[in-house]
């Protein structure tokens, strides 16, 4: 470890974020490695290490002989300032080597508000921000993750984007990059060949023209690049890598447990849900494999908490049987089994009986809308009676806490739909009074609302986000209607969701806005501590662009969208 680093660590919060050395972290002999990948997550260690996709791809890349993939996370503000003061460039956790010296710098980005953090990490690493300034083949800057389904706002900063699931695509890209370096290709020659890998999008090979009204006029592919880039998926999940020997963090993280992925995709078709669209089709893992993964991961890591997770966990067809298979093992090892993302319309008594054998931590359901009319409009195939019946079962089984997630600002929403959320909370309260066997503990009902953000590649991608003032009016309306002491209401702050909508629907011109906002101080914009809407609005004004054009405008169905 650099002596300068040793001196600054006692002065920052949570120094364990920055020192590596965790159990199961992969170390390799540099003399036997020809390709080094800095796998970067543009958020804090606690968030990045909770990301199962990052753990999967870390294992996949390190399984390639001659390749060493190391992790790198965005530092918190205090650490960044100390690093800049001490002239310490951004480094990888395994070797402590500066990531600017690596062959590939790969970002995993699942959230658009992480774009400024990506720019900040490049700057902190001493890497030129713009792809056009990086003329050499290394370091190659790539990005993957859900946010790449519209990567146009960061097209200026990345050399290429990986669209879809990376298990096979990452390997193919690394092998091509190795070949290019061996044979002395130019960067342009490499990018032209990389564009032929299914799922790889090279922004510099596409010219974008705009109409006078600001909409996209045309997107022209050059250099033999495909007109449409098709996402990559793992077709056989039984052949997909799962990290049974996973890194055990030295400090607490958000998801500090074994996380077993049951399947990808979702059988539902909620019109607002980007994940439901981009992870299609549904692909299940076999029950036998999952049982083995779960046991091996717990035994290797020593964790006493395990989550069986997917977009909609209770839709896994063999869930009850899998829970039965794991019952004896979990009991012997005192492992608690958790099932997030439960559907209120298929939460069975059999499933609840399995959950009862662990700690009763509370249940979470997502009705999304307050009335049946609006649930039908967003294709959320759930009735209020489904929800209440599931709550009755849970309360009768000893549960005393339920979390309910809703969305405000959905297309066609009225005040009646908003007030319907308060009605549902009251009905859940009544269900507890009817069904709970032990009422001395009371009940905790938490209602949380987020603000609808139109997302690329969803059925609602043409819809506008409602104005901030209207969203805040609806929050106030709902807050005043929540008059039960046992119901807690939480709502998402409006400025962040507004900017998320702007960037989600943005085009290449937003690159200069993101850079301008970053130069004004926007770094970890996903965190309230660092987000400032005024900085963003000043950046838009300086760049001559209108954020409302992106967030609050209905798009015509024949419009060429930035992600077309």
Write the pLDDT tens digit of every residue in 368-386: 999 999 999 999 988 999 9
Cβ neighbours of residue 466 under 8 Å, at least 6 residues apart? 409, 452, 474, 552
Write the pLDDT tens digit of every residue in 69-116: 999 999 999 999 999 999 999 999 999 999 999 999 999 999 999 999
Q: Averaged over 232-261, what is the pLDDT?
A: 94
| Predicted local distance difference test score (pLDDT) of residue 447 | 96
- Burial class, 441, CB count within 10 angstroms (exposed 0-12 / middle 13-18 / buried 19+): exposed
- Higher per-residue pLDDT: 464 or 358: 464
| Predicted local distance difference test score (pLDDT) of residue 230 | 96
What proportions of the chain, in percent to the nearest 5, are helix, strand and coil? 40, 15, 40
| Predicted local distance difference test score (pLDDT) of residue 442 | 87
pTM for the whole thing?
0.95
- Rounded CA separation 82/115 (Å): 22
Q: Which of 441, 339, 326, 335 is nearest to 390 (CA)?
A: 339
**DSSP letter (8 states) at residue 137:** S
Cβ neighbours of residue 488 under 8 Å, at least 6 residues apart? 444, 445, 446, 447
Q: How confident is the model at residue 396 (pLDDT cuts 50, 70, 90)?
A: confident
Q: Is 70 exceeded by the pLDDT of residue 234?
A: yes
| Predicted local distance difference test score (pLDDT) of residue 352 | 67
| Predicted local distance difference test score (pLDDT) of residue 2 | 79
Q: Is 60 exceeded by the pLDDT of residue 343?
A: yes
What does the radius of gyration of the chain's CA atoms come to, in whole angstroms? 24
| Predicted local distance difference test score (pLDDT) of residue 268 | 87
- Burial class, 526, CB count within 10 angstroms (exposed 0-12 / middle 13-18 / buried 19+): buried
Give the highest mean pLDDT range of 208-217, 251-260, 376-385: 208-217
Q: Is 90 exceeded by the pLDDT of residue 179?
A: yes
Cβ neighbours of residue 344 under 8 Å, at least 6 residues apart? 365, 367, 382, 386, 387, 390, 391
Q: Averaged over 546-551, what is the pLDDT?
A: 97
Strand pairing partners for 372? none
- Burial class, 320, CB count within 10 angstroms (exposed 0-12 / middle 13-18 / buried 19+): middle
| Predicted local distance difference test score (pLDDT) of residue 360 | 57
What six digits make up the tokens of 38? 């800095």
Contacts 24+ apart (CB under 8 A), 173-179: 173/142, 173/197, 173/200, 174/35, 174/37, 174/61, 174/64, 174/67, 174/104, 175/64, 177/35, 177/103, 177/104, 177/137, 177/140, 178/34, 178/35, 178/66
Q: Is 70 exceeded by the pLDDT of residue 346?
A: no
Q: Is the dihedral of CA 378, 384, 387, 390 positive or negative?
A: negative
- Return the number of other C-beta atoms located less than 10 Å from residue 235's C-beta: 11
- Higher per-residue pLDDT: 346 or 215: 215
Please state whether beta strands 216-221 and 206-210 pair in parallel, antiparallel, or not at all (unpaired).
antiparallel
Reduce the secondary structure of 480-515 to three states and give it as a string: HHCCCCCEEEEECCHHHHHHHHHHHCCCCCHHHHHH
SS3 state of residue 207: strand
| Predicted local distance difference test score (pLDDT) of residue 150 | 98
Q: Which of 441, 400, 423 is nearest to 482 (CA)?
A: 423
Q: Averaged over 348-362, what is the pLDDT?
A: 63
Q: How confident is the model at residue 393 (pLDDT cuts 50, 70, 90)?
A: confident
Residue labelled with tokens 């909770």:
50
Cβ neighbours of residue 543 under 8 Å, at least 6 residues apart? 509, 512, 513, 516
| Predicted local distance difference test score (pLDDT) of residue 169 | 97
Q: Is 60 exceeded by the pLDDT of residue 358?
A: no
| Predicted local distance difference test score (pLDDT) of residue 106 | 98
Residue labelled with tokens 């083949």:
137
**DSSP-assigned letters across all residues of 276-299:** HHHT-S-EEPPHHHHHHHHHHHHH
Q: Kindly report the average pLDDT of the chain as a whole number.
A: 94
Q: How confident is the model at residue 288 (pLDDT cuts 50, 70, 90)?
A: very high
Strand pairing partners for 214? none
E strand segments, 233-354: 258-261, 263-264, 283-284, 305-309, 336-338
Cβ neighbours of residue 236 under 8 Å, at least 6 residues apart? 283
């Amino acid at each position: 470890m650099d002596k300068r680093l040793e001196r600054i660590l006692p002065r920052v919060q949570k120094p364990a974020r920055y020192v590596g050395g965790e159990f199961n972290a992969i170390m390799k002999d540099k003399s036997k490695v020809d390709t080094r990948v800095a796998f970067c997550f543009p958020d804090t260690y606690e968030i990045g290490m909770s990301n199962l996709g990052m753990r999967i791809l870390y294992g996949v890349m390190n399984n390639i002989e001659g390749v060493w993939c190391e992790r790198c996370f965005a530092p918190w503000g205090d650490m960044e300032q100390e690093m800049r003061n001490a002239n310490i460039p951004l480094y990888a956790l395994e070797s402590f080597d500066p990531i600017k010296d690596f062959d590939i710098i790969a970002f995993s980005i699942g959230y658009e508000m992480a774009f400024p953090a990506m720019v900040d990490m490049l700057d902190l690493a001493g890497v030129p921000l713009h792809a056009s300034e990086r003329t050499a083949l290394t370091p190659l800057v790539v990005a993957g993750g859900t946010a790449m389904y519209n990567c146009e706002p960061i097209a200026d900063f990345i050399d290429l984007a990986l669209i879809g699931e990376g298990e096979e695509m990452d390997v193919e890209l690394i092998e091509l990059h190795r070949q290019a370096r061996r044979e002395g290709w130019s960067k342009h020659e490499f990018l032209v060949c990389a564009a032929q890998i299914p799922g790889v999008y090279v922004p510099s090979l596409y010219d974008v023209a705009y109409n006078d009204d600001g909409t996209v006029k045309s997107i022209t592919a050059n250099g033999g690049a495909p007109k449409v880039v098709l996402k990559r998926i793992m077709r056989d999940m039984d052949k997909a890598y799962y990290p049974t020997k996973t890194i055990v963090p030295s400090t607490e993280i958000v998801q500090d447990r074994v996380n077993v992925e049951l399947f990808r995709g979702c059988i539902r078709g909620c019109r607002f849900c980007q994940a439901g669209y981009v992870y299609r089709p549904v692909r299940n893992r076999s029950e036998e494999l999952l049982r083995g993964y779960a046991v091996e991961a717990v035994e290797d890591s020593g964790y006493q908490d395990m989550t069986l997770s997917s977009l909609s966990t209770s839709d896994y067809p063999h869930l009850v049987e899998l829970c039965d298979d794991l019952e004896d093992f979990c009991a012997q090892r005192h492992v608690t089994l958790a099932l997030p993302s439960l559907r209120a319309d298929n939460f069975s008594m059999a499933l609840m009986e399995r959950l009862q054998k662990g700690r009763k931590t509370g249940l979470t359901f997502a009705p999304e809308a307050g009335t049946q009319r609006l649930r039908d409009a967003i294709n959320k195939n759930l009735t209020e009676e489904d929800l209440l019946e599931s709550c009755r079962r849970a309360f009768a089984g000893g549960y005393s806490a339920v979390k309910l997630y809703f969305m405000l600002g959905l297309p066609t929403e009225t005040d009646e739909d908003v007030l319907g959320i308060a009605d549902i909370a009251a009905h859940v309260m009544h269900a507890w009074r009817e069904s709970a066997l032990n009422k001395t503990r009371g009940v905790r009902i938490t209602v949380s609302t987020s603000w609808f953000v139109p997302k690329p590649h969803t059925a609602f991608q043409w819809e506008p986000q409602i104005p901030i003032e209207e969203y805040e009016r609806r929050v106030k309306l709902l807050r005043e209607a929540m008059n039960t002491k046992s119901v807690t209401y939480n709502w998402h702050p409006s400025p962040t969701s507004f900017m998320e909508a702007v960037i989600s629907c943005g085009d290449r011109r937003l690159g200069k806005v993101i850079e301008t906002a970053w130069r004004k101080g926007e770094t970890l914009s996903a965190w309230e501590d660092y987000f400032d809407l005024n900085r963003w609005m000043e950046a838009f004004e300086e760049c001559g662009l209108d954020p409302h054009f992106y967030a609050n405008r209905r798009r015509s169905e024949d419009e060429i969208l930035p992600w077309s």
